[in-house]
Amino acid sequence: MERIKSGKMINVVRSVVLVMSVLLIGTGVMNQEHTEVLQKAVKICLECIGIG
Amino acid sequence: MPGVHWNRIKQKRKISFQRKIQFISAAVFNGYGAGFVKGKIYTGGSKAVCVPLLNCYSCPGALGACPVGSLQTALGARHHFPFYVLGTMMLFGILLGRLICGLLCPFGLVQDLMHKIPVPKWSVPKKIDRPMRYLKYVVLLSTVILLPALVVTKTGITPPYFCKYICPAGTLGGGIPQMIANPALRNLAGMLFSWKVLVLLLILLLSMFIHRPFCRYLCPLGAFYALFNRFAFYQMSLNERKCTGCKKCERSCPMAVEITREINSSECIRCGKCKAVCPEGAISLGFLLKNSKPYGDYRAYGTRSRRR
């Protein structure tokens, strides 16, 4: 815990998470996951609006 | 003097920076005005992009996709690891943390406005408040991640449990406007819609008495961003040399954060109210603050003598 409190460690954690998130987005885009999101989002989600 | 009186009125009506950003954000993320008139949703390419906030993609004005809904779809309908949605949520989380809750979320704005209604305000006792705050993590883990990922239905598509049974933002932003604009959908509304309206009404009613009950206790997106709040690039800092320990900041905090003890708490929504009331100017907010500490500064005040 003491180590994580130090500024350097925080910057490392931040940078790792930032790089990981960019890599995940890149992987998802290569897998065409954004088109799946689009397909779901352009139709009215009946569950979301309470019809089921 | 009439001038002085007018100035007082003008001062009272001054809209805070937070409120301005909240209204702008709600308008920008729900900018498809024609959708409200026609009762149709936007179908453009921007809906492939997850927005950082809880904004139902079935809202007639929504220009982007809700990350919580998209996460449940990826896990429940497509049954694969959600690289894209998870990466997007992590990116927003590490850059902004819960600043998104405080400044950008339209349902946060709705709760803030409900809290303006002049009724007696409740202070939730710590014994109840502290354990209840973990409920949002249970909601995230169960309804958004585990149930969609593990439950197998006959059709092979697992419903988005959070959206279906809980999400009040979906009912308010998507369900009610769609019901008003679409007579065909109105005919289909049954028990589930009544349940969702009841959940929404309960949360709105509670918001009048308790500040942001949904953000505190139930929101799975708030829970996800809370995991990053201490480490996000956007941080808060308390200058221990300036702090006198008057605790005005803690009394003004809508999320009941112990600011002098833990300024970068996972519960802080970065609304900036503490900074506005601090008479010493000891609190600062911003990206990559030099003296910010993830677990706050436990020696924020009153221990300067001990250090010497």
The structural domains of chain B, with segments of one domain joined by +, span 16-226, 233-308
Residue B14 in this model has a pLDDT that exceeds 60:
yes
Nearest CA in chain A to B171: A49
Which tokens in the block code for residue B130? 């502290």
Residue with tokens 């006959």: B154
Please check the confidence at residue B216 and state whether its pLDDT lies above 50: yes
- Model confidence at B130, pLDDT cuts 50, 70, 90, reads very high
Share of chain B above pLDDT 90, in %: 72
Please state the ipTM of this predicted complex: 0.90
User: pLDDT value at position B182?
Assistant: 85
Query: Mind listing the pLDDT tens digit for each residue in B227-239?
Result: 999 989 999 999 9
Please name the residues between 132 and 171 in chain B that touch chain A, using a CB distance below 8 Å: 159-160, 163-164, 167, 170-171
Yes or no: say if B236 and B263 are a contact pair by the CB < 8 Å rule: yes
Cβ atoms < 10 Å from Cβ of B142: 14
Mean pLDDT of B1-19: 62
Distance from CA of A43 to the nearest CA of B (A): 7
Q: How many CB atoms lie within 10 A of CB B185?
A: 19
Q: Is A21 on the interface with B (CB under 8 A)?
A: yes
Q: Is A22 on the interface with B (CB under 8 A)?
A: yes
Chain B residue numbers with beta carbons less than 8 Å from the beta carbon of A52 are 159, 164, 190, 192
Q: Cα separations (Å) of A31 from A23, A27, A28, B178?
A: 12, 6, 5, 32
Rounded to whole angstroms, the Cα distance separating B242 from B90 reads 34
Which residues in A lie closer than 8 A to residue B85 (C-beta atoms)?
28, 33, 37
pLDDT at A9: 85
- State how far residue B18 is from chain A, nearest Cα, in angstroms: 26
Q: Is B91 on the interface with A (CB under 8 A)?
A: yes
pLDDT digits (tens, 9 = 90+) for B63-111: 999 999 999 999 987 678 999 999 999 999 999 999 999 999 999 999 9
Q: Which of A17, A40, A46 has its CB closest to that of B94?
A: A17
Dihedral, B153, A52, B68, B129 alpha carbons, nearest 10: -100
What's the pLDDT score for residue B12? 59
Contacts with B184 (C-beta within 8 Å, 6 or more apart), sequence order: none
Is A38 in contact with B295 (Cβ distance < 8 A)? no
Burial of B66 (0-12, 13-18, 19+ CB in 10 A): buried
| φ, ψ of residue B79 in degrees (nearest 5) | 55, 50
The domain defined by B233-308 carries CATH number 3.30.70.3270: yes
